Amino acid sequence: MTVITRFAPSPTGHLHVGNIRAALHNWLWARKSGGQFLLRLDDTDLERSRPEYADGIKADLHWLGLHWDGEEKQSDRFALYESRFEALKASGHVYPAYETAQELDLRRKILLGRGLPPVYDRAALSLTPDQIAAYEAEGRPPHWRFKLDHEQPIVWTDLIRGDQRFDPKLLSDPVIRRADGSWLYMLPSVIDDVAMGVTHVLRGEDHVSNTATQIQMFTALGAPLPAFAHEALLTGSEGKLSKRLGSLGVAHFREIGLEAMSVASLLARLGSSQPIEPFADIQPLIDSFDFAHFGRAPARFDEAELATLNQKIVHLLPFEAVADRLPQGMDEAAWTAIRPNLETVADAADWWRIVTGPIDAPAPAEEDHDFLAAAHGILSNAAFDADIWRTLTGALKDATGRKGKTLFLPLRRALTGLDHGPDMGQFLPLIGREEALTRLRS
């Protein structure tokens, strides 16, 4: 069996961190299994779906490195849905209902007021031909519901949640088509999963009850069931569901300078028993992905953890991986010297400005004037090679008796304008003799 997974976002907005995690996990499972990862744009909501959102979803997936093996768009598949719908009508698996939204809402409130579950009572199945004719005469078109089989308990073994069991009598027959003829999510998704050969449906635990009803739709269509995996939803770092998670997406991550691999490294294992580690390459995450590692405990997403992970990954990146994002003139030696001090690759530009100058160095303390003058003299005559920092500080130590902080800090301040930064043994050769002499002189 060829494993086929799918990511099926609705192009009615931008991807958020929860969507990204679902896409990543589907992609990882397909790649580990040597299968296919498909992108399906669930754009049946023609009013809210926008081409720019679809383009944005694709751009986000490309940035994350989640390239897909096939693409479908639900708005191109209405003829398929219509044919399957007619077949379900003929077999008695769907039926028309004429209640208005207001009537249904009132019924729900009455049931809740009595302490009962707000399950649809199937009143539409009891309508007489005369009642149906009356509704039609007043211009009230029906919406359509899928008729659940109350005699067949719904069971499946979830790859994350284990054995699942639902009593269909406690579920409402889902509305699959609105009165205006437009489709809701449930049935087209099943029809597409069957037609696309999807073998694994991995999504959030908020879809568990949807899966229960969709399993009967697969059966009604005479199709084999895919495997299902429902993972715990993300929560904020404080342990509560956070509205902010709904606004965090690729645009935000890119804006603050994060690497795609830091996002992948965190989200690939968030909610699992595996340690979250910095990976500069995706292959270890593919190799280690396993549904058995995921549990039902809430998965806590922490931006601070993501930032720390990003910093560690930046420190692993070779020059070739970042060369096209570095300031003009910054070479491999400069990247190697500056890299340990970076939180994001974009921060390299700030350090490069310290190399190229000018800098705004603090005025030296009175007792450091003669010391810096001595440094100027030594630097003027010493061989300016890869060991120049060791040569300079060694000669100054012998000449002045200084050591430790009193030796190194005045030099660093004069040469960089800062109290901290890259290893000066690597940094001073980047600054160059003439620029360093100018800074010591001033």
Which residues make up each annotated binding site for ATP? 243
Token pair in block for residue 358: 């000018």
CA 433 – CA 115 distance, rounded (Å): 83
Q: Which residue has the tokens 């383009």?
A: 55
Nearest to 379 by CA among 397, 358, 362, 395: 395
Do 344 and 257 touch, CB atoms closer than 8 A? Answer: yes
Give the H/E segment covering residue 24. helix 17-32
* 3-class SS of residue 167: coil
* 3-class SS of residue 12: coil
CA 292 – CA 289 distance, rounded (Å): 9
Do 99 and 123 touch, CB atoms closer than 8 A? Answer: yes
Alpha-carbon distance values, 244 to 69, 138, 303 (Å): 32, 46, 11
Q: Which residue has the tokens 């049946």?
A: 44
CA atoms within 13 A on the CB side of 1: 11
CA atoms within 13 A on the CB side of 235: 13
Instruction: Answer positive or negative: Cα dihedral of 261, 266, 270, 274.
Output: positive
Instruction: Answer positive or negative: Cα dihedral of 107, 109, 111, 117.
Output: positive
CA 285 – CA 128 distance, rounded (Å): 59
Backbone angles phi, psi at 47, to 5 degrees: -75, -40
Backbone angles phi, psi at 7, to 5 degrees: -120, 125
Q: Which residues are annotated as a binding site?
A: 243
